[in-house]
Copies of this chain bind each other. A is one copy, B any other.
């Protein structure tokens, strides 16, 4: 038993600690095809090398969320194996596109710690960075999780809660080098709506639905080398259900949002996100979006749009929280992100 990884407990984290996560991964044509088999992903920049080249990139990058999942997956054995809950995300930025042949690894720094008043758990804040084989940071994000203590009598660390931006300032978004939407082909991209056609406050029902399957969410989650038992082992939870990796719902909702947001091509910022309710096989997921903000960028023809993306179990669109401020029971995901669009 001593040789297996029991995961870290709350008292195993220290402020400023840097954890280099294991198992670097080379991504390529296989990951790309699987992403398109597992999600109804259709954004043209990630589907066509030709479209990507016409947009100033050398080829089609790996889907932004696939890059996120690879980076995130590596953190699971070190950060969330004993997590009780995944509490939030902030300050997520995509800094470099990931291309076929790139090898990703990730590293997390503990930036906050707060023991809970019950003395049994605590909240750990980490800033995770994903690097490629040239040591370039391809993305970074902050995540906080509630983790069990191994020993309830272990002393509480000094409470440090990091100050995190509620929203990434659009000036801090990183536009991939060379990106140029001035010759954007709206017909090939699938919709005519440009940045100027979206209004702040506008909501979009993405209409389509996908019913969740065990084999699909497990294949996706494995592909990112996420090892959390609860996703794979039907004997782990008393109810015999396999909890679906929250990132599976993020990717599914993002792919569904193509219908109405086909031109929100690249995700460049993750302002925040909540997995409002657990997801299980058999549910049918639908999605809606709300335009939260818009900003110009310095890149030719490229605008930024801030979107709320909500995944539901198929309930009424546009219902997010009840009068008590709690998420509606039908809501699975509430994500706040910045994307790049042709102007």
Assembled-state Cα–Cα distance A315/B28 (Å): 38
CB distance B33 to A28 under 8 Å?
Answer: yes
Whether A301 is near chain B, meaning CB under 8 Å from some CB there, is: no
A195 to B233, CA, bound (A): 30
Provide the bound-state CA to CA distance between A102 and B65, in Å. Answer: 24
Q: Interface segment, A88-96, A160-168, A206-214, A330-338?
A: A206-214
Interface size class of A (residues with CB under 8 A): 35 or more
Q: Are B24 and A50 in contact (CB under 8 A)?
A: yes
Chain B residues positioned under 8 Å from A207 (CB to CB): 1, 4
Given contacts A22-B44, A259-B5, contact A209 B222 (CB under 8 A): no
The reply to whether the CB of A72 lies closer than 8 angstroms to some CB of chain B is no
Nearest-CB residue, chain B, relative to A234? B211
Q: How many copies does the complex hold?
A: 3
Q: Is the beta-carbon distance between B284 and A234 smaller than 8 angstroms?
A: yes
A29-B77 Cα distance, complex, nearest whole Å: 26
Tell whether, in the assembled complex, residue A209 and residue B235 are in contact, meaning their CB atoms are under 8 Å apart: yes
Expressed in whole angstroms, the minimum distance between the Cβ of A61 and any Cβ of chain B is 12
82-120 of chain A: CB within 8 A of chain B: 100-101, 103, 105
Which residue of B28, B190, B233 contacts A284 across the interface (Cβ within 8 Å)? B233
Cβ-based interface call for A205 (8 A):
yes
A25 partner residues in chain B, CB cutoff 8 A = 47-48
Neighbour of A190 across the interface among B22, B193, B213, CB < 8 A: B22
- Asked if A20 is at the interface of the complex by the 8 Å CB criterion, the answer is yes
A133 to B59, CA, bound (A): 13
| Contacts known (A3-B193, A31-B30, A33-B223); A211 close to B242, Cβ less than 8 A | yes
Q: Taking CB as reference atom, which chain B residue is nearest A73?
A: B42
Q: Are A188 and B105 in contact (CB under 8 A)?
A: yes
Chain B residues with Cβ below 8 Å from A206 are: 4
Pick from B1, B36, B211: contact of A232, CB under 8 Å:
B211
Does any Cβ of B come within 8 Å of A23's Cβ?
yes
Shortest beta-carbon distance, A196 to chain B, in Å?
13
Query: Given the complex of chains A and B, what is the CA–CA distance between A24 and B188 in angstroms?
Result: 7
A26 vs B220: C-alpha distance in the bound complex, in angstroms? 21
Q: Do A261 and B3 touch across chains, with their CB atoms under 8 A apart? A: yes
From A26, A28, A42, residue with most partner B Cβ within 10 Å: A26
Per-position 1/0 for A169-211, Cβ under 8 A of B: 0000000000000000001111101000100000011111111
Chain B residues in 8 Å Cβ range of A235: 209, 211, 284, 314
Q: Which residue of B lies closest to A226 (CB)?
A: B40
A37: interface (CB < 8 Å):
yes
Q: List, in ascending order, chain B residues with CB within 8 A of A190's CB.
A: 5, 22-23, 77
**Which A positions have Cβ atoms within 8 angstroms of B?**
1, 3-5, 20, 22-26, 28-34, 36-40, 42, 44, 47-51, 60, 77, 100-101, 103, 105, 133, 187-191, 193, 197, 204-211, 213-216, 218-220, 222-223, 225, 227, 229, 232-236, 242, 259-262, 282, 284, 314
Instruction: Return 16 A-B CB contacts under 8 Å, by A number.
Output: A3-B197, A22-B44, A24-B50, A26-B48, A28-B30, A29-B29, A30-B33, A30-B34, A33-B34, A37-B220, A47-B225, A209-B233, A210-B232, A211-B214, A215-B216, A227-B259
